[in-house]
Structures are given as structure tokens and as C-alpha cells.
């Protein structure tokens, strides 16, 4: 709940400062958080709020790719600016080497040896990395490790 309160407080500050980028970005993420809370009919934890913010960052990265395909540098820059605002609220992300180290530990714990074990590895690994590593990167690293 602390993260959500911080976002709401910073939204008020952005409105006072007439900072359109921060205001627009924070409104968008607060809206996503509130919609999820309505769907679940309960308040979200900071980890769940971080997960929503990572999803928003991922959608912005996809928007950047689409904007670059369409030769729209203005849209691409706007999405990059929004990503920078959101990343300021997230814990420092893990490097691929750190993710790989954590994945190797879980694979050893579970005695996973084949790609068919990927589901149980991911089920154990993702909660440990929650909020610090995107799921698609974790998935790719685990898949690579199990195929060796």
C-alpha cells in the first residue's frame, strides 16, 4: 500500500507543478491499479502494484517497437519518457547474470533437467524475483538453461 500512496501523492505534486508527463503517466498507472483492485475486490500489496507497473512498462516497450515500425519518433519518445517515470518507482532491476544465478539455484533445488520441468521452475522462481525481473526474460533464461 505504501507504493500506491506514493504514486497518488506524486500525482498531486505533478498536478501542482503542471508536469504533464508525470501527471499523465501516474494517472494511467493509478487507474490500472484501481481497476485491478475493483476486479479482485481487495487492496493490492506493493508487490502486486509493482507487477502492474511492470506490465505498463512492457506495454510501453511494445508501443515503442510499433512506433518505430511506423516511423513515428514522437510516439516512441513519449513512450520512453513514460517508461522512465515508471521505472523510478520500481526496485532496481536484476541483471541477466543475477537472474541466471537465481534460476540455476532453483533448477538445482528442484532437480529439474528437461524443458518439461520449466513450469515448476517458473512457479518457484518468479515469486523470488517478483518486482525485480520481467517474466519474459526469466522465462527465456530458464528455457535456455533447461535445454542445455
* pLDDT, average across residues 52-69: 91
Domains plus CATH for the chain? 2-87 (1.10.1510.10), 96-146 (1.10.10.410)
66: nearest Cα among 50, 79, 57: 79
Provide the pLDDT for residue 148.
75
The overall average pLDDT reported for the chain is: 90
Rounded average pLDDT over 42-58? 87
**What CA–CA distance (Å, rounded) separates 56 from 82?**
9
pLDDT range class, residue 127, cuts 50, 70, 90: confident
Q: Which helix (H) or strand (E) holds 100?
A: helix 96-110
Is the pLDDT at 106 greater than 80? The verdict is yes
> What percent of the chain clears pLDDT 70, i.e. is strictly above it?
99
Q: Would you state the pLDDT for residue 129? A: 83
The model's confidence at residue 46, banded by pLDDT at 50, 70 and 90, is confident
Please spell the DSSP secondary structure of 45-79, one letter per residue. Answer: PHHHHHHHHHHHHHHHHHHHHHHHHTT-HHHHHHH
Q: Check pLDDT > 90 for residue 66.
A: yes
The pLDDT assigned to 1 comes to 65
Residue 62: alpha-carbon gap to chain centroid? 13
The pLDDT score that the predictor gives to residue 54 is: 85
Residue 142 has which C-alpha cell?
530458464
Question: Residues 55, 56, 59, 61: is their CA dihedral positive or negative?
Answer: negative
- What does the alpha-carbon distance between residue 88 and residue 71 come to, in Å, rounded to a whole number? 28
Amino acid at each position: 500500500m505504501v507504493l500506491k500512496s506514493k504514486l497518488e501523492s506524486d500525482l498531486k505534486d505533478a498536478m501542482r507543478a503542471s508536469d504533464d508527463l508525470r501527471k499523465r503517466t501516474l494517472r494511467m498507472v493509478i487507474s490500472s491499479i484501481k481497476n485491478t483492485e475493483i476486479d479482485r475486490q481487495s487492496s493490492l500489496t506493493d508487490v502486486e502494484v509493482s507487477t502492474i507497473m511492470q506490465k505498463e512498462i512492457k506495454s510501453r516497450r511494445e508501443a515503442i517497437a510499433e512506433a518505430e515500425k511506423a516511423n513515428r519518433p514522437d510516439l516512441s519518445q513519449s513512450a520512453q519518457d513514460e517508461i522512465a517515470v515508471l521505472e523510478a518507482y520500481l526496485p532496481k532491476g536484476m541483471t541477466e547474470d543475477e537472474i541466471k544465478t537465481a534460476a540455476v539455484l532453483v533448477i538445482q533445488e528442484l532437480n529439474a533437467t528437461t524443458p518439461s520441468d520449466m513450469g515448476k521452475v517458473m512457479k518457484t522462481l518468479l515469486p523470488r524475483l517478483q518486482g525485480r525481473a520481467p517474466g519474459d526474460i526469466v522465462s527465456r533464461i530458464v528455457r535456455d538453461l533447461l535445454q542445455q
